[in-house]
Structure 1
Amino acid sequence: MARRTIGIVMNGVTGRMGYRQHLVRSILAIREQGGLALADGTVVWPEPVLVGRSEAKLAALAQMHGLTRWTTDLAGALADPANEIYFDAQVTTARVEALHTAIAAGKHIYTEKPTAETLDDALALADAARTAGIKHGVVQDKLYLPGLLKLKRLVDSGFFGRILSVRGEFGYWVFEGDWQPAQRPSWNYRSADGGGIILDMFPHWRYVLDHVIAPVRTVYAQASTHIPTRVDEHGNEYKADADDAAYAVFELEGGIVAQLNSSWTTRVDRTELVTFHVDGTHGSAVAGLRGCRIQHRNATPKPVWNPDLPVTTDFRAQWTEVPENDEYDNGFKTQWEEFLAHVVADAPYRHDLFAGARGVQLAELGIESWRTGTKLTIPELEA
């Protein structure tokens, strides 16, 4: 059995997502299972190189996980021919320059989203990668969630009949940082640092709607900065001028209407932190991160509106849980495995930088819709 070691420059692993989901739950998890076995018997062994700005943090992470390769010198890491992949989980404002540098160094690219703050920058990255002939991928993790995989199976099977609408709810209360520390980094709430929930979440909604339900054709968005002042990681008060909640209506192909609320200023009264309620002529479903409940038209009760009497019906009890017929691995890890197979064995891979650009496009149009108060058509992007 041949073993193929592949160096991965991982920039931004001292951050929340870069560390938890990409280093620990993906790359280190692949190593713990003995590597990634390909169809031809080759075992891909990922060798991470931790990159960041803080020597102390990098050294501590490396020691904690038994790793030896870490550096604050990104250029030096990219110059090493043993490092074939560059991964970026930095703040959005630092991403474009770093990705261009890695592309120029001939590295394959795998990156968190959004790939850029503007569509022009996102397309320039995709064009540069294509011109360089390197392979490139963008994290689109929610497509790998068990709940959305179940929902996709329902859509493909025709369970819904004609899909009418989608209602999505995402979010939770992010503490202001005064009496309790915030559970998200402060840059998320500063426009100058690439913050804002539209730029963060609309790229997700683009690929979820496009791949699970139907392509997005129009957008109308309203956003707000509900909490204008927050306290950062060092206890300093700062102006939170980025949008922390967005309320959007998307029209999808076929006349499907999707309403998605995204908020860091809401308290959760849902079964999961994100839910998608899909209604169709033949049935409905409510999907979350892991679960998916359905109600077929043949099992749909007949509610009667009567505000004069207390409600005695347990409406949620009238839904059926979709069974766990498959085994579901961590979604970030699964996508990493797909990308590694793409790089090493040229396996098919669809979530490239052009897909990432479509997500940035929706965010940019969402912001424009908010600023102008208009419904906007989404132009086709040619890859």
Structure 2
Amino acid sequence: MARTTIGIVLNGVTGRMGYRQHLVRSLLAIREQGGLPLRDGTRLWPELVLVGRSETKLREIADRHGLTEWTTDLNAGLARPDVQIYFDSQVTAQREKALRLAIEAGKHIYTEKPTAEDLSGAVELARLADAAGIKHGVVQDKLFLPGLRKLDRLVRGGFFGRILSIRGEFGYWVFEGDWQPAQRPSWNYRAADGGGIVVDMFPHWHYVLEQIFGQVNAVTAHVSTLIPTRWDEAGEPYEATADDAAYGIFEIDRAGQSSPIVAQINSSWGVRVYRDELVEFQVDGTEGSAVAGLRNCRIQHRSTTPKPVWNPDLPATEDFRSQWQVVPDNEEFDNGFKAQWELFLRHVVEDEPYSWDLWAGARGVQLAELGLRSAREGRRIEIPELQAEPSK
């Protein structure tokens, strides 16, 4: 079968997410399956150029996977005529500058979020990319998780009737780093380095709510730094200056509903897990309810809802979890990162529709910025619509 190649610069591949999800489980997985099938019967073959700051780490990764092209010079990678796409999974503080360089070089953009440290930077990137005529996309991986795809299926099928509310719980205990190594890099807990759970997770919650339920129009948030001192990768203590817990209320306008849907989502790196998955969303509607996690989704229809009675003087005799029905897979679910990579590659090569662009990324940054502002000012904040053109 004929093969077409496409050059991709991967910047930040020495990091956990860039290596595991984007290199190994996405692009190398596409190569392992013989390339991405295209409409004309050919297969698209990703040719990869690894970019990072550590020559030693890059060489080790390249050798491990039989790759030959890598560099510590981003400009050199972007100057290559055989490269069409630039991908970024660096730390947030380095991303905007690199994306600007890639746009100037005329490369299509695919990037992790948040796309910039502040809204003005995120909007400017989207405007520059539009003006350059390049295609651009932002990773919105949670939309491709089996549990949320099942939830989306329920919403589109009208299972809930009128949606009343959404409750989300996300998080786990991230060790401080003194007596057990932390599961996350230390920069996540330093505000100066772009850390904080709001800037990390609110963009995720934005696209989940926007894509499945409707437009997010207002936010009320409270944030905390629960663990004030942590230990870095060298075992040295440092002050945690970024928020590690956030409690948000999001108001959503949904077409066909006269009143907003209220979504309450708790996010914390200082919570011990007592639920089936690391993130769960409960959606309640007039016709039924669902609880969706990363992989699983359970439902309870109006017709099968039991009638519990509150009696604090007697022990509960009902097994509430057994009263819910499991939503079947009904299809095979590929790795979410890989699935979105395939859609973006088809968008670039075959001009397939693609809506998760830098403007979607900017709206996520906007929600995080306004969420932090809400926490500082102690009030509800409405979310204005972003303008593609600067105001005169």
Match of 1:19 in 2: 19
Match of 1:116 in 2: 116
How far is 1:98 from its partner? 0.3
Match of 2:28 in 1: 28
- Give the 5 Å matches for 1:17-166: 17-166=17-166
Match of 2:195 in 1: 195
What letter is aligned with 2:219?
Answer: V
Instruction: Find the aligned partners of 2:234 and 2:63 in 1 and give their Cα distance.
Output: 26
Instruction: Find the aligned partners of 1:313 and 1:284 in 2 and give their Cα distance.
Output: 18
What letter is aligned with 1:210?
Answer: E
Structure 2 unaligned runs (5+)?
254-258
What letter is aligned with 2:252?
Answer: L
How far is 1:268 from its partner? 0.3
1:263 matches 2:268: yes
Instruction: Find the aligned partners of 1:141 and 1:233 in 2 and give their Cα distance.
Output: 27
1:304 matches 2:321: no
CA deviations 1:37-77 (Å, max 9, x no partner) are 01221211001111000010000001111111111011111
Match of 1:349 among 340, 347, 354: 354
| 3-state SS of 2:226 partner | coil
- Give the 5 Å matches for 1:277-356: 277-356=282-361
CA deviations 1:283-328 (Å, max 9, x no partner) are 0000000100000000000010001111121100000000110110
How far is 1:215 from its partner? 1.4
What letter is aligned with 2:317?
Answer: T
Match of 2:256 in 1: none
Match of 2:204 in 1: 204
| 3-state SS of 1:96 partner | helix
1:370 matches 2:380: no
Instruction: Find the aligned partners of 2:381 and 2:278 in 1 and give their Cα distance.
Output: 28
| 3-state SS of 1:143 partner | helix
| 3-state SS of 1:83 partner | coil
Instruction: Find the aligned partners of 1:202 and 1:169 in 2 and give their Cα distance.
Output: 13
Instruction: Find the aligned partners of 2:117 and 2:215 in 1 and give their Cα distance.
Output: 22
How far is 1:3 from its partner? 1.5
Instruction: Find the aligned partners of 1:229 and 1:245 in 2 and give their Cα distance.
Output: 14
Match of 2:227 in 1: 227
Instruction: Find the aligned partners of 1:152 and 1:238 in 2 and give their Cα distance.
Output: 42
Number of residue equivalences? 383
Match of 1:276 among 277, 281, 303: 281
CA deviations 1:332-353 (Å, max 9, x no partner) are 0000000000111111111000
How far is 1:381 from its partner? 1.7
Please, what TM-score do these two structures have when normalized by structure 2? Answer: 0.97
Structure 1 unaligned runs (5+)?
none
What letter is aligned with 2:233?
Answer: E
Which 10-residue stretch deviates more, 53-62 or 248-257?
A: 248-257
| 3-state SS of 2:18 partner | helix
Instruction: Find the aligned partners of 2:292 and 2:129 in 1 and give their Cα distance.
Output: 35
CA deviations 1:135-167 (Å, max 9, x no partner) are 100000000011001000100111000000000
- Give the 5 Å matches for 1:161-172: 161-172=161-172
Instruction: Find the aligned partners of 2:219 and 2:88 in 1 and give their Cα distance.
Output: 29
Instruction: Find the aligned partners of 2:251 and 2:74 in 1 and give their Cα distance.
Output: 42
Instruction: Find the aligned partners of 2:74 and 2:147 in 1 and give their Cα distance.
Output: 37
| 3-state SS of 2:84 partner | strand
Percent identical pairs in the alignment equals 72
Deviant stretches of 4+, over 6 Å? none
What letter is aligned with 1:349?
Answer: Y
CA deviations 1:178-216 (Å, max 9, x no partner) are 000000000000000000000000000000001111211
How far is 1:217 from its partner? 1.0
CA RMSD of aligned residues (A): 0.7
| 3-state SS of 1:250 partner | strand
Match of 1:247 in 2: 247
CA deviations 1:70-116 (Å, max 9, x no partner) are 11011111000101110000000000000000100011000000001
